[in-house]
Amino acid sequence: MARSHEVVIIGGGHHGLTVASYLAKAGADVCVVEALSTVGGGVVSAELAAPGFITDPCSVWHGVIQANPLILNDELGLISKFGLKYINPINQFTVLFPDDSYITLHRDIDKTCESIAKFSAHDAEAYKKFYGWAGKILDILSQGMFNPPAPFGSMVSLLDQSEDGRALLRSLMVSGVDICNEWFESTELKTTLTKFIAEALVSPRTKGTGIILFAFIPLTHKYGGAIPVGGSGALSESMKKCILHYGGTVLTNCVVEKVLVGSGVAKGVMLKGGEEIFATKAVVSNLNAKQIPDLVGKENIPETYAVNLRNLKLSSHRSICQGYAVHDAPNYTAGDEVNESFFVEMAVRPYEKYLRHYDDMEYGYMHVDMPAVCCQSKLDPTRAPKGKHTVHLFHYAPYDLAEGGPSRWDEIREEVADGILATLQRQTTNMGADNIIGRTIETPLDLERRNPAMIGGDYSHLGRELTQMLGNRYLPGWGYKTPVEKFWMCGPSCHPGGGVNGGGRAAVQALMEEMGIDFEKVIEK
């Protein structure tokens, strides 16, 4: 007899797990179907570089989710009941320049301003003012970030009613570079702030990225980012425990071939091999919005809708990630403050060269001189054998290489990885071959192969242009629904987008309303 559940969720990434966790807590019969052997999608950890060394192949930093009531109020009991534990570094980020000068963003706003003042007293004062102003804007942003977004037109009309709202609205129309030029004078601070915009896989010159600064700066100082004890995947594992505790089902090594559709209604899913799992109330996809036609069948969606899906843009650049098992933690020539920072973001000068790097990536050209580095085991000794360490080495990258296309990544992966490592070696004393026990490399092509929902190696699923943000994501007017009745979306393709943000909290509210479940009562339990 075929399995049957109230809700079937396609894909066990952390967005889908979030949806499943809230549904399970509400008492719904939910089943998560994951293609890989472990849940988590981009929020996973494993012994990849060497035995006993736990590294994170994709996400490391759990920043935005710290402001999500999912974690902030522990709505699912992930912290109090299911073993999740976060470590919050005091020194959050350092942006390090080739001459060993740097800016450190501390949790403490005054210490941050002291670091900025080394380059510009004006900017130190301006940064504090911006933080105070952006904090008010964050309060507006937070109301919509973890809840279903209003239609874009309605949001514009509402924001236009107040001074702060109009400031937020303007930030949606300009770029992060524009905001920095208006507020700050030093290219070092401009580089520091725009580098974190680029973590969202979008060029900081893209219109609409101004809003990222209004979130990033107050989030850094008010909440701070964190890492889970045991690896990034500890978040996903705690959600799995939550789902099972409340009677839900999690299936792994099960590839969904298609959604079963009858009379325009989603009835369930068919797995590779032919097994069917039925859903009486909803099928929810954590996959890429661009995969909808293949999942439900083109005959079940309007042609204009299919065209709009095809026209969705991926992110402007991707990433290459390396995980290292090492004897000793990196020792930076810049000194103790840099060594004590969790993330060290290396940058280039002059500012114009730095900005052109993002343009080059859009045209398929790779640079190796701006890695981001962290040593998780300095904060979390469970990641490595006693006295040893793990290092995460991240770099922006194009997917479609100018010479050879995506397939050439298999040929140059080691060469590119070595070049990125060489950049780190130039500003550390001990990251030579004698310190390295093992490493793992994941190029954009590798990521796409491991997780086909990340088309083009895009862990955000879709780019963050204004036309694909807030109520416009994944498509204007659709929110989390699709033309197929009872078939829903919940992944990074939807608001609030990619990254470790617990975005499924927004999607599940829309679904619960349709199912007649009171979300407020669920989170009060």
Q: What is the pLDDT of residue 148?
A: 96
Architecture of domain 3-43+228-312+463-524: 3-Layer(bba) Sandwich (3.50)
pLDDT for position 143: 78
* Residue 218, pLDDT score: 93
How many CB atoms within 10 Å of residue 21? 32
- How far apart CA 198 and CA 111 sit, in angstroms, is 24
Q: Is 66 exposed, middle or buried (0-12, 13-18, 19+ CB in 10 A)?
A: buried
pLDDT at 136: 83
CA distances from 225 to 13, 113, 220 (A): 20, 19, 6
DSSP string for 158-177: HHTTSHHHHHHHHHTTS-HH
pLDDT score at 168: 83
Helix axes 14-25, 233-245, angle to 10 degrees: 30
Could you report the average pLDDT of every consecutive run of 10 residues in the chain (525 residues)?
Answer: 93 98 99 98 98 97 96 98 97 97 97 98 98 85 88 90 87 94 98 95 94 92 96 99 99 98 98 97 99 98 98 97 99 98 97 98 98 98 98 98 98 99 99 98 98 97 93 96 99 96 98 98 94
The answer to whether the beta carbons of residues 30 and 10 sit under 8 Å apart is no
pTM of the model: 0.97
| DSSP per-residue codes, 409-438 | HHHHHHHHHHHHHHHHHHTBSS-SGGGEEE
What's the confidence (pLDDT) of residue 140?
Answer: 76
Sorted by sequence, the CB contacts under 8 Å of residue 102 that are 6+ apart come out as: 94, 95, 96, 115, 334, 337, 338
Residues of the chain within CATH 3.50.50.60 domain(s) are 3-43+228-312+463-524
Counted residue by residue, the chain has a size of 525
